Structure 1
Amino acid sequence: MLRFVLIALSMLALSACASLERLAIPDNSLTRPDVRGSGTVARLDHRVWDSFLQDHTRKDPAGVVRVGYAKVSDSDHAELKQYLRMLIAVDVAMLTKEAQLAYWVNLYNALTVDVILDHYPVASIRNIKGKGFDLGPWEDKRLLVNGVETSLHDIEHGIIRPLWPDMPEIHYVLNCAAVGCPNLGQRAYTAKNITDALGVAARSYVNDPRGIRVSESGQITASKIYSWYLDDFGGSEVAVLDHIRGYAAPELRAKLAGKTRIQRYEYDWALNGF
């Protein structure tokens, strides 16, 4: 009897933690700062970020893309900061929609790496906190975009999610420096490659145990991303599983046939470094 009570308490604790994390996600009903517009410029220079990714990332045997934070030189870090300054000087409204999406995803990912480098060594991005009940550095206003102080949360929840509300695949290209997150892309995104990259990243994560796995007894464990952003993936576990089946390889799709519930959500917050 005691064993069942302990299991129940453990499940409640996990549920409470997941609920707290979900509550920490800001409302995405407002776009801030105002960057709306649909221009005609498709090309933007992301060569610095592209070179950084090629030089400082590698995929481990488990398929996790890791960043060699410890080996990034001061000059490489300074160049990354200069790239960020270049990005925020761009009039994003002049870009095409594809170029805009590539811009914001690159900005988010590069800024996340910059945050880690500013605080390295650190075991998890969640250890980088301001004050109060911060769960991490996502609310820190680190950039001035269109004259508005802007945070990682502002980029993701105030800009990307509102401007691309019917594209849950964006969650597969945004990286929060955690092992449990979808992989950091090893090349910079551009207007030309971002659409294909979304599908590639979705298939990669869905078919990785970090995204979803099915036990021999048929129990489903999924990434907390599908819990945190339930509404983005259709608003229910049935919709989430339908989405996942759309990207699942045949073996995984067969295991998910007829499934309508997810029994457990997990996420590994360990730093994606090497």
Structure 2
Amino acid sequence: METPAPARRRRVVLLVAALLLSSVLMTGGVLHVRGLLPASVPSAETPFSYSGYGQVLRHVRRDGNVDFASVGRERARLDAFVRSLATFSPHSRPDLFPRSEDALAYWLNAYNALVLQAVVDEYPSLRSVEDPWLGSFFWGRSWPVGGQHLTLWALEHRILPREFADPRIHFALFQGRRGGPLLDGAPFAPEFLDSQLNDAVRRFVEDRRHVRLEGNTVYLARVFDTWREDLLAALPEGRGGNVLQFVWAFLPDTCTERPGCDTRGELDRVCGPRLDRCKLVYEPEDGALPDTAAREVRGGP
């Protein structure tokens, strides 16, 4: 029996409405992830400062592990700094961040503070930032920052690469992973930013979990592959270069501070003067939290 015309029209209307709703939700989701939704800019509670956030970072150990339990017990300073991001940013108050160093230090500190807050919010049940569904730790939540609702994904993939052509950024962003870039015990400061960024890359490449030479194979952390184009663009040879040239620039000449690390001389000897004789293998990072507390203390395996 043929369906009556009014019923057919209702079905068509419902189908069109469902498609429109799906499109709106999908568009809203994309805008959310990319940090393109507007946010209000509240009045300032206090002048902008990194001092409170610097106090939070005293819970970062010399090896980069974090005493998340202590941060949680004293989280008022961390929360106050995160709240201040809603008011102050290079976008909403460019007068406070006139130089590129001022702006970059802000975004690096903002990203790292947001990761730290997101971890503490879920601690101690969160064991890894990879636990939430489909990596949603980095895109599922947004914060008001200088007039925009920004996700961690938006900061790392849209704002920082678009506004700063400096590949060292990728080794300064705290990912909440033991195998990724780790926090330092002090905020990034505009006046020391260049040396701090160099130190961040050196700490990373001198760690054998991230750069390891075995025979004629160099095992590299996956960050070198993920951001390969950015690293190559910074080389004198440009994109025709070799990612090992970037690694070589930050390896030490000797391993007095980190016994067992690989050196520039060893890379030259094995991989040749053009660093093109070695096989590259990119390894996954350790996704566990860089937590000072032992797992058994936190309540089981």
Which TM-score applies when normalising by structure 1? 0.76
| Structure 1 moving runs of 4+ over 3 Å | 30-34, 235-238
**Does the residue aligned with 2:204 lie in a helix, a strand or coil?**
helix
- Partner letter of residue 106 of structure 2? Y
What is the alpha-carbon distance in structure 2 between the residues aligned to residue 264 and residue 160 of structure 1? 24
The equivalent residue for 2:247 is: 244
Cα deviation for residue 237 of structure 1 reads 9.4
Larger radius of gyration: 2
Determine the structure 2 residue equivalent to 1:13. Answer: none
Aligned to 1:71: 70
Q: CA deviation at 1:86?
A: 0.7
**Aligned-partner Cα distance in 1 for 2:131–2:201:** 28
Partner of 2:57: 53
**Partner residue of 2:225?**
227
Determine the structure 2 residue equivalent to 1:265. 283
- Percent identical residues: 23
Q: Matched residues in 1 for 2:187 and 2:122: separation?
A: 23
Counterparts in 2 of 1:46 and 1:190: CA distance versus 1, 3 Å: same
Q: Given the superposition, is the C-alpha separation of residues 31 and 100 from structure 1 closer, same or farther in structure 2, using an over 3 Å criterion?
A: farther
Which structure 1 segments of 5+ residues have no match? 1-25, 35-42
Is the CA contact 1:179–1:271 (under 8 Å) kept in the aligned structure 2?
A: yes
Instruction: Report the counterpart of residue 126 of structure 1 in structure 2.
Output: 130
Contact 2:85–2:146 under 8 Å retained in 1: no
Contact 1:178/1:271, CA 8 A, preserved across alignment: yes
How far apart are 1:128 and its partner, in Å? 3.0
Equivalent in 87, 90, 103 of residue 88 of structure 2: 90
Alpha-carbon shift at residue 148 of structure 1 (Å): 2.3
Distance in 2 of aligned mates of 1:73 and 1:154? 25
1:44-101 Cα offsets, whole Å, 9 max, x none, are 51001111101x1113xxxx31111123344x22321111111221141221211111
Contact kept in structure 2, 1:237 and 1:262, CA below 8 Å:
no
How far apart are the structure 1 equivalents of 2:104 and 2:142?
A: 20
Is residue 72–residue 120 contact of structure 2 (8 Å, CA) maintained in 1?
Answer: no
What is residue 195 of structure 1 aligned with on the other side?
194
Q: State the 1:181 CA deviation.
A: 0.9
Cα distance change, pair 142–245 in 1 and its aligned pair in 2 (3 A): same
User: How far 1:123 moved relative to its partner?
Assistant: 1.3
How many pairs align?
226
- Structure 2 residues not aligned, in runs of 5+: 1-29, 39-46, 234-238, 255-262, 293-301
SS in 2 for 1:143: strand
Partner amino acid, structure 2, of 1:171: H
1:112 aligns with 2:112: no
Is the 1:108–1:155 Cα contact (8 Å) retained in structure 2? yes
Distance in 1 between the 2:210 and 2:217 partners?
Answer: 14
Identify which of structures 1 and 2 has the higher relative contact order when contacts are C-alpha pairs closer than 8 Å and 6+ apart.
1
Q: How does 1:103-182 map to 2 (within 5 A)?
A: 103-121=106-124, 122-129=126-133, 134-165=134-165, 167-182=166-181
Amino acid at match of 1:103: Y
SS in 1 for 2:191: coil
